Amino acid sequence: MATLRAQPATAQAAALMRDLAERYSRPQAAKGKAYARGKTLVRYANAGGAFIADLLVAAANKRSEGWLQCSHRKTDYTGKYVKWATFDGVRKAWLEAGLIEHKPGYPGALAFGNPGPTSGKLTRYRATPRLLEIAAEHGITPANVLEHFRLEFEMPSELIRLTQPAKPTPDTPKVAKLRSDVAELNTFFAKHTLTPPTIKHLGWVRMFHGYTEGFRWNKGGRLYSQPPQEPACYQTLPEKSDDVNQTTRAKMRIKQRARVEIDMSSSYLTIFYALCDQQLDGTQDAYAGILGATKLDREVAKFWINASFGNRQLLTKWSKDLVKDLVKDLKKSSRRRPCQASTRSSIR
């Protein structure tokens, strides 16, 4: 969702805003002037800067494929940093110049006899390669946009969310307890400082999926950092990177102190050993040597064991879906295609 509240934080950002405002002036009447007053040019440049900052943040978001939602309701811009008339001029000029592409929105209900979809959708915009090139000419990219613009994000009002399918969160004692737990966690973390400053953690919301009548709140429930947009969200940062300028999770600090990550999925078997009163030494890898000595043997064994724990019983066969999930995990681990091919053959 576009915020349209971003402001320049560097000289490069200010230069980009001026460049766009001068190159792609607002639409005008046949006898009118593009900017009757200097203030009008400043407002137009500010609106363009706020818009391109949101677009660059969206461009880094793989889940949304770069699309950014924008409201076209004029009243939503009342009293805001960017007014509707100014934003309307920016989007029209950029559409005409081929800087952005868009998908029109639609209401959730239409006229009698033609109800349309049950839920509406906002208009969406996405930066074209041309706009990304212009930003890059000023040294600004989706990866470093938060270093050049000050963005303001909002924390969702509902801390417990239902997805797949998306539904309003019911107000029950169980939900109230879950909501209170998340609020307590957010209050605690608000006392701490997370760095680098490009990471914008406002708090967490907890998302559940698979909601049906009689839902027991036992499906999903993962905590998602807000805002969820890349590259502001720490959960989307890569573990490692060959690019020295890219922020990675390894660079994160809490109160300037280094932190560690605990991979729970890698700990399932170790925890199981402990529950069975069997102690592993500090250097022993619980998954190593179960199938063989190679790294691929370890990955297959680990995947099967974790899937078995999740299934509450030992898996007796490799279904197509399991093979697909395993190959996906190997891709995330940056394994090459020969490994993936050998995986398929080794588990048939």
pLDDT for the residue 148: 94
CB burial of 87-104 (b: ≥16 within 10 Å; e: otherwise) equals bbbbbebbeeeebbeeee
pLDDT for the residue 334: 53
Nearby residues of 282 by Cβ (< 8 Å), 6 or more positions away: none
pLDDT for the residue 247: 66
Instruction: Give CA–CA dist 225/233, Å, rounded.
Output: 6
pLDDT for the residue 337: 39
β-bridge pairing 203-209 and 160-163? parallel
Instruction: Give CA–CA dist 109/120, Å, rounded.
Output: 7
The secondary structure of 68-137 as a DSSP string is EEE---GGGGTTSSS-HHHHHHHHHHHHHHTSEEEE--B-S--STT----SS-B-EEEEE-HHHHHHHHH
pLDDT for the residue 283: 73
pLDDT for the residue 153: 81
Overall residue count recorded for the chain in this entry: 348
Question: Residue 315 burial (CB < 10 Å; 0-12/13-18/19+)?
Answer: middle
Residue carrying structure tokens 């800087």: 99
DSSP state of 170: P
Question: Residue 73 burial (CB < 10 Å; 0-12/13-18/19+)?
Answer: exposed
pLDDT for the residue 7: 94
pLDDT for the residue 263: 72
| Beta bridge mates, 254 | 194, 257
pLDDT for the residue 55: 95
Within the chain, strands assigned E span 7-8, 68-70, 100-103, 123-127, 149-150, 160-163, 194-195, 203-209, 220-226, 253-254, 257-258
Instruction: Give CA–CA dist 273/278, Å, rounded.
Output: 5
CB burial of 10-19 (b: ≥16 within 10 Å; e: otherwise) equals bebbbebbbb
Render each residue's pLDDT in the chain as its tens digit; 348 residues.
888 999 999 999 999 999 999 999 877 654 455 555 567 889 999 999 999 999 998 998 777 789 999 989 899 898 889 999 999 999 999 999 999 999 988 775 555 555 555 555 789 999 999 999 999 999 999 989 988 999 888 888 899 999 877 788 999 999 999 999 999 999 999 999 988 887 889 999 999 987 887 888 887 788 999 988 777 788 888 776 655 556 678 888 998 898 887 777 678 888 888 899 988 876 778 888 888 888 888 889 888 988 888 777 888 888 888 898 888 888 776 543 334 334 333 443
Reported as type and span, the H/E element at residue 268 is helix 268-275
| pTM of the predicted protein model | 0.63
Q: Which amino acid is at 205?
A: V
Q: CA triplet 325, 328, 331: central angle to 5 degrees?
A: 155
Instruction: Give CA–CA dist 134/24, Å, rounded.
Output: 12
Give the start-to-end residue ranges of the domains of the chain. Answer: 7-150, 160-258, 264-346
Count of Cβ atoms closer than 10 Å to residue 304 Cβ: 19
